[in-house]
Amino acid sequence: MEFTLNALMGIICALAAATAKPTIDQQIIDLQQSNSKLLQYPTQFTQNIMPKGIHSHNDYWRDVPLLTALSFGVASVEADVSLVNGTLYVGHENAALTPDRTLDSLYIQPLLQILNKMNPRDAFTAGSTTLNGVFDTASGIPLQLLIDIKTDGVQALPFILKAFQPLREAGYLTTFANGTLATSAITVVGTGNSPLEQVKALDPRDYFFDAPLTQLTDTSLNTTWDPTLSPLASTDYAVAIGWNGIGNITDEQKANITRFVGDAHARGIAARFWDTPAWPVFARQNIWRALLEGGADWLNADDLAAASAF
- Closest residue by Cα to residue 231 from 270, 267, 263: 270
1 — pLDDT class (breaks 50, 70, 90): very low
Q: pLDDT tens across 34-61, in order?
A: 989 999 999 999 999 999 999 999 999 9
pLDDT digits (tens, 9 = 90+) for 85-113: 999 999 999 999 999 999 999 999 999 99
Encode pLDDT of 244-296 as tens digits.
999 999 999 999 999 999 999 999 999 999 999 999 999 999 999 999 999 99
DSSP letter at 250 equals P
* 163 bridge partner residues: none
Can you spell out the DSSP letters for 58-81?
Answer: TGGGSSSTTHHHHHTTEEEEEEEE
Pairwise CA distance, residues 159 & 166, whole Å: 13
Burial of 96 (0-12, 13-18, 19+ CB in 10 A): middle
Which percentage of the chain shows pLDDT scores above 90? 90
Kindly report, residue by residue over 118-167, the tens digit of the pLDDT: 999 999 999 888 999 999 999 999 999 999 999 999 999 999 999 999 99
Please state, in angstroms and rounded to a whole number, the distance separating the CA atoms of residues 88 and 102. 6
Average pLDDT of span 193-203: 98
pTM of the entire predicted model: 0.90
Question: Model confidence at 4, in pLDDT bands (50, 70, 90)?
Answer: low
